[in-house]
Structure 1
Amino acid sequence: MNDIKDQAKEVIFAILPITFVIIILQYTIIWLPTDVFIQFLIGVFMVSLGLFLFLLGVHIGLLPIGEMIGSTLPKTKKISLILFFGFLLGFVVTVAEPDVRVLSSQIDDVSGGDISQMVLIYSVAIGLGIFAALSLLRIVYNIPLKWLLLGGYAIVFVLAACTPESFIPISFDAGGVTTGPMAVPFILALGVGVASVIRGKTSSSDSFGLVALASIGPIIAVLILGVIYG
């Protein structure tokens, strides 16, 4: 019951400010047609309901199962198994990420079909999956995050120099959209679960940085597409 109240408050505080701003603008400056304004209000209600149900589902289902999977994998004592499932889970949550699908559809339209929607989605998913597995490897071997970030962005800058300019903004947008409502909760929960078993009391600090590292993968994947298609 407390989860329901907390998520309802979170949605209200997230949606009300933008709603009030649009209402004020409607009656002071923009004066949208009545039917358009009514559609906006209906949309606000639907977004609020959808966001409430989504956040409730994340806290009830995604976060607990992510932590349970993360805490169970290290008990197998098989690094290959941890990395495989880290990659697999990173891949599938990226494919399910709505932000990635929106970006891929827009790029498909802009490129005239040269870069198909599914090619971009799967490339981004593979990139995030690889770096999600690398994030778990960092926790297992206690590798400093700064060296992995420096190495990752060094690869990004090298590829950017060899890629057509039109692919560079797309690649960084791809890195941004993968940090969306599906991927972030699951990846963070997975990292917390792994770190809680391997690092114990230092699990909180070890589980940070997973999203920052994982988001490099999609950038590199799109830049590689640029090298291929360019």
Structure 2
Amino acid sequence: MNQIKEFYELLKHSFRNLLPIIIVVAIFQFAVMQQVPEGWLPMAVGLLIVVVGVALFLQGLEMGIFPIGKNLSNEFAKKGSLAWLMIFGFCLGFAAVVAEPALIAVASQAEMISGGHISALVLRLLVAVSVGAVVALGIVRIILGHSLHWYMIIGYLLVVIITFFAPEEIVGLAYDSGGVTTNIVTVPLIAALGIGLAVSIRGRNALTHGFGLVGLAVMVPMIAVQLYGIVVYTLGDPEMVRGAAPLAEAVEDEVVSRVGDSVLLGMLTDLLVMFRDVLPIIAVVLLFQYLVIRKGIAHVHKVMGGFVLVIFGLYAFVVGLKLGLFPIGRSMAEQLITLDGFLFVYLFAFSIGFATTMAEPALIAIGQKAQEAGRGKLNGNTIRLLVAMGVAVGITLGVHRIIVGDSIHYYIMGGYAVVILLTVLAPRYIVALAYDLGGVTTSEVTVPLVTALGIGLATHIEDRNVLIDGFGLIAFASIFPIISVMLYAIAVELANRWRQQPS
């Protein structure tokens, strides 16, 4: 009975979180377009399915993923084996990312648009290995008690330097590849691993040391993919992608047809695909639990039930995306571009950036964990508002870059230069969380709408190359939440100091 009551509360919570998207789309559709969208009924049904999916997912997290992540961290900490912890971190990071649907979609589109110049398989393996390696490194950082800010300052200095030399064809794709590694399952699982490890080691703080793994998992793939791009475009023929823009419509048609086919083929195919995507993570967890730690899982039925709920929640979420969010994003981008001027494109970019982030399940989960770890220093709702504002500003600026045709290099390098400066100035307790929140923003709610908007703009604006201009919006959605959260923490710190001064 308690679980039914909890699920009902989560259902209401999920609906409240999705409501901003519905309001934004309704306002633009009726006040700006002044028409009812075609196929509005399937879209509405899709949004309701998303609500149910998010509720199931959140309940599954609390029952299965969070407990098993913390338990494994505690057991490895008790064993005192750094080598096994690093191996577990690598396997978990690799398994969580290699089958990530958003990464598969981005890699496939990049291969198609580049005419085969970029290999989808190489890109996926490169990103998965990068994430695995960086999760292992992040575990070492927690054990040694190092502050995250030096890792991020040095890492993003490398990112900025490599971006300066990287070909423009790879920059947006590299940043997007980093962004999509942090999905709706990966974020809570990696966060649970970090927090569980920090709590189990004496002298470590859950807020300062437990967060940060997600931030590292976003950063390192950016470096790896840009280095891959430098090699590919230095050794290869850059002219292969110069004429790639006409393929944009083919890519869009391919995505649409896949979405339509999967819905028509029925629920079983999608459900099997969802099991396949989550299976590597379950396999890694069971392998280490029974062969390395050699202990049974406590409350195994509850944990397995949690994983089942996560899978069905994700499945419902993806079906809802296909019926609701994908068509909405594509339809709105196409309609807004036909209007005179770009004012409403900017307004829609800001509004949808804010609304999708407020509805992001992974952000809700991390916000709750941050509030618990902060012990009065942080409020989950305030964090979500700050992150949503950051994403809104970032996507609006990214849309502006596509419209005016500027190079992404200077925007990205300037953005991360500000991030590096704020990392030096911000209170230490907020740094790891801020970087994690930058990664959380690019999950299953935000990516479909933002990707549809970017590719739609690059396709319909004259003299734009989809590979160069269509990608990159996800990167903007990652940078600015880091800035907004750090600025807030600095402002709070200064206000507290001012209040404490003798009058």
Corresponding position: 1:179 with 2:182: yes
1:33 Cα deviation (Å)? Answer: 4.7
Distance 1:6 1:114, change over 3 A: farther
Structure 2 partner of 1:166 = 169
Match of 2:87 among 84, 89, 93: 84
TM-score by structure 1 length? 0.89
1:106 Cα deviation (Å)? Answer: 2.2
Match of 1:149 among 143, 152, 158: 152
- Taking the aligned partners of 2:9 and 2:75, their CA distance within structure 1 comes to 29
Match of 2:53 among 31, 34, 50: 50
Distance 1:27 1:192, change over 3 A: same
Is the deviation greater in 131-140 or in 97-106?
97-106
- Taking the aligned partners of 1:113 and 1:49, their CA distance within structure 2 comes to 39
Distance 1:201 1:141, change over 3 A: closer
- Structure 1 outlier segments of 4+, above 3 Å: 23-29
Q: Is the contact made by 2:7 and 2:56 (CA closer than 8 Å) also made in structure 1?
A: no
- Taking the aligned partners of 1:161 and 1:117, their CA distance within structure 2 comes to 24
Q: Is the contact made by 2:147 and 2:208 (CA closer than 8 Å) also made in structure 1?
A: no
- Describe the superposition over 1:179-198 as per-residue Cα deviations: whole angstroms up to 9, x where unpaired: 22121101100001111111
Structure 2 partner of 1:115 = 118
| Map 1:1-230 → 2, pairs under 5 A | 1=3, 2-30=5-33, 31-34=35-38, 36-199=39-202, 202-230=205-233
Alpha-carbon RMSD across the aligned residues, in angstroms, is: 2.0
1:69 Cα deviation (Å)? Answer: 1.3
Q: Is the contact made by 2:130 and 2:224 (CA closer than 8 Å) also made in structure 1?
A: yes
- Describe the superposition over 1:14-56 as per-residue Cα deviations: whole angstroms up to 9, x where unpaired: 212222333444444431455x111211221222222222222
What letter matches 1:98 in structure 2? P
What letter matches 1:53 in structure 2? L
Q: State the identity %.
A: 35
Q: Which runs of 5+ in 1 are unaligned?
A: none
Q: Is the contact made by 1:199 and 1:206 (CA closer than 8 Å) also made in structure 2?
A: no
What letter matches 1:191 in structure 2? G
Is the radius of gyration larger for structure 1 or structure 2? 2
SS in structure 1 of the partner of residue 168 of structure 2: coil
- Taking the aligned partners of 2:8 and 2:202, their CA distance within structure 1 comes to 34
TM-score by structure 2 length? 0.43
Distance 1:5 1:203, change over 3 A: same
Q: Is the contact made by 1:136 and 1:191 (CA closer than 8 Å) also made in structure 2?
A: yes
